[in-house]
Structure 1
Amino acid sequence: MKTTTQETLVEKGMARRSFLKFAGAGAVAAGVLATAASCQKHGGVVSDPQVIDLGTGDVAVLNYAYALEQLEAAFYTQVIATPYTGITTEERALLTEIRDHEIIHREFFKTALAGNAIPALTPNFSSITFTDKASVLGTAKAFEDLGVSAYNGAGYLIQTTAYLELAGKIVSVEARHAALIRNLLGQNLADDSILDPSNGLERSKTPAEVLAIANKYVSGKPLAAPALGA
């Protein structure tokens, strides 16, 4: 039986096979995670009541990714719900497709984490002017670049091979999103802001660096992941 989320995504034209592929992977991941959870701290159980604790081990890494995907999905959902002035048919189509991808990613991590998932976040997008193209696309660029650098910086922390493989696939999609947004902005697809000129590789950010930025878009308690390291 389809969930309400699945029905909504299919009605919006999302590729059903793509969602089922991730949903199936999420079901497998949930089984592995449930076994591992007995010896790991439960995501969302807060040792410090002033923050949202992501947990430890693979639970923490998946919650870290889940938090970022929640913010991205919420952002693009708002972009499509209240499109900026002068948005073209092509721009709307591309941003809608990115929104659908982010929702798939969010639902995958939610399914994989099951009872270990952090609560649904309440976004704070007060700094974004959704009627202004420059504000929207500038924020989209920041989100996509942040997402890629976050996955790149956290990959080595993933202990389960299946999770690492899936994370690699998701970050490749996020990189394509970043390229599409830069194309809409008329910017180079790769520059020194995302590439390290010393080695030609994509830059990565530590969880601490990423959360310092992501928390600007979270209402209420900030996200904290001391178990993920600096």
Structure 2
Amino acid sequence: MTDSVELIDALDRRVARRDHRREFFKAAFGMGAFAIGGAAALNFSTKASAQTSTITDADILNFALNLEYLEAQFYLYAANGTGLAANLLTGTGTQGAVITGTGANMARAVNFTDPAVRAYAREIAADELAHVTFLRSSGALGSSAVAQPAINISGALDGPFTAAARAAGVIPAGNTTTPFDPYADDNSFLLGAYIFEDVGVTAYKGASPLVTNKTFLQAAAGILAVEAYHAAIVRTTLYAKGVDVPALRTNADLISNARDSLDGATRDLDQGISPTTVNGALVSNIVPLDSNGLAFSRTPSQVLNIVYLNAAAATMGGFFPNGLNGNLRASVAAS
């Protein structure tokens, strides 16, 4: 089979997946696959609703800090085998531990075989460490910074990576014995990173209208740009490796579909990496954009739906087993 035919077949399969994914994920998530209970929260779906709330710039930056804790811990363990230093974990709220798991699938340094992927992992880990350090600094949150909440980055059978992969279909339905371990090898690491990166971009984009202080807004824009670079690195590498390993593109698309269903069945805020058509020409899909060529936005609630792995209203779960620290910690049911 020629490469062009393979790409066309991949496109046909992608369309079919999009046609069927809504009902699949409604069953997978809507029935409480990751349900942990929850409470109603402000949706912040528009700038107007934000203006009538009591959410402050510090609340927005602390929401971002919670997410940066998660990304930093994942990348630091994957790149170096150790996480954030103890002096970067303190703050307001309840400080939690990093759940790394035990045994063969615990969070650990990836035995990279591709020098490029190893270098990417180390660069992104250093960037995420810098984000945590900056947001906690006197130039940003200072003494108002929240402590790191409990974070689960285990690659074990009962870990959030496995739960996400199983519900997305990366692990076949009915397979309850195979974990998804993002520390197992280069490709698994890239798929694990893909779970986070696009979410980070859309989170900062969605939060930008809520920030009133221009200094904080500039800082958030700077972090957004870096997160977009990270997402592009991960998407490009998965796309390129997917030429020889088509399952990488397929699995990335499945993860994208899962994120899309978690943040609301009536929205389409995500795109996979498989080739698509523009003006009749087959093109890559490295940069996910709307019809105006703009990056997508997610509200804080939509982001929480994803990191809690729960489309219902929730205050904890998934990668944050006890929830986030700060005022923005409860999601509403996705619609």
Identify the match of residue 205 of structure 1 among 274, 291, 298: 298
Structure 1 pair 193/211, CA: closer, same or farther in 2 (3 Å)?
farther
Structure 1 pair 221/207, CA: closer, same or farther in 2 (3 Å)?
closer
Q: Percent identity?
A: 34
Counterpart CA distance in 2 for 1:155 and 1:218 is: 23
Counterpart of 1:221 in structure 2 is: 323
Superposed CA deviations along residues 29-70 of structure 1, whole A, max 9, x for unmatched, are xxxxxxxxxxxxxxxxxxxxx99x9x8311111101111111
Counterpart CA distance in 2 for 1:157 and 1:116 is: 18
Structure 1 pair 206/193, CA: closer, same or farther in 2 (3 Å)?
farther
Counterpart of 2:269 in structure 1 is: none
> 2:206, 2:297 within 8 Å by CA — same for their partners in 1?
yes
Aligned to 1:148, what secondary structure does the other structure show? helix
Counterpart of 1:12 in structure 2 is: none
Structure 1 pair 192/104, CA: closer, same or farther in 2 (3 Å)?
closer
Unpaired stretches in structure 1, ≥5 consecutive residues: 1-49
Shift in Å, 1:210: 0.4
Counterpart of 2:152 in structure 1 is: 124
Identify the match of residue 289 of structure 2 among 189, 195, 200: 195
Counterpart of 2:64 in structure 1 is: 65
Superposed CA deviations along residues 140-170 of structure 1, whole A, max 9, x for unmatched, are 1221100000000010000100111111111
Instruction: Name the aligned partner's letter for residue 135 of structure 2.
Output: F
How big is the alpha-carbon RMSD for the aligned residues of Structure 1 and Structure 2?
Answer: 3.0
> 1:61, 1:228 within 8 Å by CA — same for their partners in 2?
no
Counterpart CA distance in 2 for 1:228 and 1:124 is: 19
Counterpart of 1:140 in structure 2 is: 193
Counterpart of 2:119 in structure 1 is: 93
Structure 1 pair 161/228, CA: closer, same or farther in 2 (3 Å)?
farther
Find the structure with the greater CA-based Rg.
2
Counterpart of 2:32 in structure 1 is: none
Counterpart CA distance in 2 for 1:93 and 1:73 is: 16
Counterpart CA distance in 2 for 1:170 and 1:192 is: 20
> 2:149, 2:323 within 8 Å by CA — same for their partners in 1?
no
Aligned to 2:230, what secondary structure does the other structure show? helix
Counterpart CA distance in 2 for 1:193 and 1:214 is: 22
Shift in Å, 1:201: 1.1
Aligned to 1:73, what secondary structure does the other structure show? helix
Structure 1 pair 106/124, CA: closer, same or farther in 2 (3 Å)?
same
Structure 1 pair 227/94, CA: closer, same or farther in 2 (3 Å)?
closer
Shift in Å, 1:135: 3.0
Instruction: Name the aligned partner's letter for residue 108 of structure 1.
Output: F
Instruction: Name the aligned partner's letter for residue 151 of structure 2.
Output: P
Aligned to 1:195, what secondary structure does the other structure show? coil
> 1:157, 1:228 within 8 Å by CA — same for their partners in 2?
no
